[in-house]
Structure 1
Amino acid sequence: MRKVMTDAELKLWNELRAHRLMGLGFRRQLPIAGCIVDFACPQKKLVVELDGSQHGDAELAAADTFRTKRLEQDGWTVLRFWNDDVIRDIENVCQHIVIVAGLGGTD
């Protein structure tokens, strides 16, 4: 667990915390299935992970794939966004989260 959030994590957390995003209740740094996920909405079994450029490394990407499969085995839906996407386009990131959570359309 990390106490200090990255800029991208802080930006997204400011959108998610206190049920700000369509009433969804997210928790930060939640342990699930032996992993500590960046953000999770237990009510919707939805995990949001933010990845920096180091996640482009083949070894780390393989570990991310393993984590995702492990969480999906327990019924969680895992969304991954690049830090840059959050910094540059937080509105579309949030819209995608809402759609996957089943609370929004694609109009």
Structure 2
Amino acid sequence: MARSLHNRKYLKGFRKELRNNPTKAESMLWKALQRRQLKGRKFRRQHSIQNYIVDFYCSEEQLIVELDGAVHHNMVNEQYDLKRAQELRRLGFKLLRFENDTVFEQLDMVLEAISAAFGKREDAR
């Protein structure tokens, strides 16, 4: 994957601000993903790909995990999210979306769904 797709400099400040001000759902999921806790996969938070900042990204799996709160539930944002998802998939990324409430109420199921999206390999852990 071309390096120029990832972490463009002009988005650095936005990425940092998002990392420093996570939603409660992002914080909860990050605690389960950080430090290779999920089957030895490394995740990054607030990683940019092209002009998009994604919530969580695993480069080894080319996997993006997005969390949706109330702000995503209107026609304008739904259309934007659809276009964004299509573009990221066109670039070869796998994309999973979860509602914030699902993270709070069924974290184990979210982690299982993320694990199920991994390719086959011997896990480091």
Give TM class, smaller chain: over 0.9
Q: 2:67 aligns with which of 27, 50, 63?
A: 50
Secondary structure of the equivalent of 2:64? strand
Structure 1, unpaired ranges of 5+: none
Amino acid at match of 2:39: M
**Which is greater in Rg?**
2
Distance between the aligned counterparts of 1:46 and 1:84, measured in 2? 21
**Corresponding position of 2:95:** 78
Q: What stretches of structure 1 move > 2 A for 4+ residues in a row?
A: none
The CA RMSD over aligned residues, in Å, is: 0.9
Q: Secondary structure at the match of 2:60?
A: helix
Displacement, 1:55? 1.0
Relative to the length of structure 1, the TM-score reads 0.92
2:45 equivalent among 28, 46, 67: 28
Segments of 5+ residues of structure 2 without an aligned counterpart are 1-13, 121-125
Distance 1:94 1:85 in 2: 11
Q: How many residues align?
A: 103
Displacement of 1:83: 0.3
Alpha-carbon distance in 2 for matches of 1:62, 1:80: 15
Q: Tell me how far 1:54 sits from its aligned partner.
A: 2.0
TM-score, length-normalised on structure 2? 0.79
Percent identity between the two aligned chains: 37
